[in-house]
Amino acid sequence: MIKFLDLQLINSAYEPEISQALSRVLHSGWYLLGDEVKAFETEYGNFIGSRHCIGVANGLDALRLIMKAYIEIGTMKEGDEIIVPANTYIASILAITDNRLKPVLVEPDINTCNIDPFLIEQKITGRTKGIMIVHLYGQNSMHPEIQRLVEKYDLKLIEDNAQAQGCFYGERRTGSVGHAAGHSFYPGKNLGALGDAGAVTTDDEDLAGVIRALGNYGSRQKYINEYQGLNSRLDEIQAAVLRVKLKYLDADNQHRREVAQFYADHITNASIILPEIQNLKSEIRNYRGHIWHLFVIRTLERDRLQRYLTEHGIQTLIHYPVPPHKQKAYQDMNAISLPITEQIHAEVLSLPISPILAQEEVHFITDTINAY
């Protein structure tokens, strides 16, 4: 059986460094808000190219805290609207509604599955305060049109970079192109911890200070509480593990690009639509704007193809089977019609891709798909 993502194998590749990191924290006697988190924040902030990095408990909290901070600062208030892609993982939208802000869903471009920049302006109203872009599947979703709108309407640009650690937009890493970005280090992400972990990156010093306080009971100084905060901290163990894996992230992403390149060059089955980035074929190897968190194909008979691949020992997943606006959690949005989003959810299938996927496995998956 070829697993969709073999986390045991992925993390074993970093032995003995991970064990040394775990042991270092264990024996330090210091488990929260210590040197490992401080060092990781510096290293990850430098990697992304942001002046400030704040470790938090997970990716959802990273996004929640950004908007909670904008509310504390007075940039946003209850009922304000945030533009967000309709085709995203539900966490992007939960972060908005948790702050009593209103998500305004925008359809994706069918070719990239990312937000269609040219459908945004028609959704902007007097209450729009921000745009949250999601670099879905590891692909940059920033676009000059979005920059134009941010400047024209004086909006905050928030990046959901949960799936795109290492990806580029031009010469900048995603996570440093907006006003603030949320990152997730959920174990299955390209930079994955051994449990939950997340971070916020931003160049905005005031925002960074409020987020740091909000994630620690609203306190900047022990036992002095400035805000009604929460407890959302990155712990030392996870930071120490992430420091090990960060060193290898670009190389790991490069291996994913090579797998994607092979799929793109060799999957020839006419019933399958390959993911389309700018000039996909033969360009992936050098194209830094995609880190292939997921390799997502589309096909009309998705469930049948998935069964066939399972029968042949290949595990695939669907990202995602039900769009946020059709979830029970968002009954108020169930009636909205978003045909492109709904089509994507009915047709997508994610093939195995990872830094440790072997060449024979990639060949076998490709041959099996072509024989379908």
Ligand X SMILES: *Cc1c(COP(=O)(O)O)cnc(C)c1O
To the nearest whole angstrom, how small is the minimum distance from the Cβ of residue 48 to ligand X? Answer: 16
Residues contacting residue 11 through CB under 8 Å, at least 6 positions apart:
18, 194
Of 89, 168, 295, 330, the one binding ligand X (CB under 6 A) is 89
Which residue has the CB atom at the shortest distance from ligand X? 59
Q: Out of 186, 217, 263, 295, which residue is the one contacting ligand X (CB under 6 A)?
A: 186
CB-based contacts of 243: which residues, under 8 Å, 6+ apart? 21, 36, 39, 40, 43
Which residue, 50 or 58, is less far from ligand X as judged by CB? 58
Both structure tokens of 344? 């994507």
Phi, psi of 136, deg, nearest 5? -70, 145
Question: Comparing C-alpha atoms, which of 224, 233, 223 is closest to residue 198?
Answer: 233
- Using CB under 6 A, which of 87, 88, 139, 366 touches ligand X? 88
Q: Report the alpha-carbon distance of residue 298 to residue 321 in Å, rounded.
A: 13
Query: Does residue number 59 form part of the binding site for ligand X (CB under 6 A)?
Result: yes
Q: Which of 71, 91, 239, 333 binds ligand X (CB under 6 A)?
A: 91
Helices (H), the chain: 7-12, 17-28, 35-48, 59-73, 90-97, 144-153, 205-214, 236-246, 249-266, 302-311, 339-347, 359-370
Size of the site for ligand X (CB under 6 A): 15
In the complex, the smallest distance separating the C-beta of residue 327 from ligand X, rounded to whole angstroms, is 15
> What would the x/- binding string for ligand X be over residues 255 to 284, using CB under 6 A?
------------------------------
CB of 297 to ligand X, least distance (A): 18
Q: Which is nearer to ligand X, 87 or 128 (CB)?
A: 87
174 versus 366: smaller Cβ distance to ligand X: 174
Report the site for ligand X in 147-176 (rule: CB under 6 A). Answer: 160, 162-163
Binding segment (CB under 6 A) for ligand X, from list 23-31, 86-94, 199-207, 266-274: 86-94
- Residue 184 or 316: the one with the smaller Cβ distance to ligand X is 184
Smallest distance, ligand X to C-beta of residue 96, A? 12
- From the list 189, 199, 202, the residue with the least C-alpha distance to 233 is 199
Interface of this chain with ligand X, residues 190 to 249, rule: CB under 6 A: 196, 198
Torsion sign over Cα 234, 236, 237, 238: positive
113 class by beta-carbon count within 10 Å (0-12 exposed, 13-18 middle, 19+ buried):
buried
Q: Which stretch binds ligand X (CB under 6 A): 87-95, 281-289, 299-307, 362-370?
A: 87-95
In the complex with ligand X, the residue whose CB is nearer, 190 or 366, is 190
Q: Residue with structure tokens 């900047």?
A: 220
Asked whether 193 and 242 are in contact (CB, 8 A), the reply is: yes
Which member of 50, 58, 114, 174 binds ligand X (CB under 6 A)? Answer: 58
Residues 101, 76: contact at Cβ < 8 Å? Answer: yes
Shortest reach from residue 202's CB to ligand X, in Å: 17
Query: Where along the sequence are the contacts to ligand X (CB under 6 A)?
Result: 58-60, 88-89, 91-92, 134, 160, 162-163, 184, 186, 196, 198
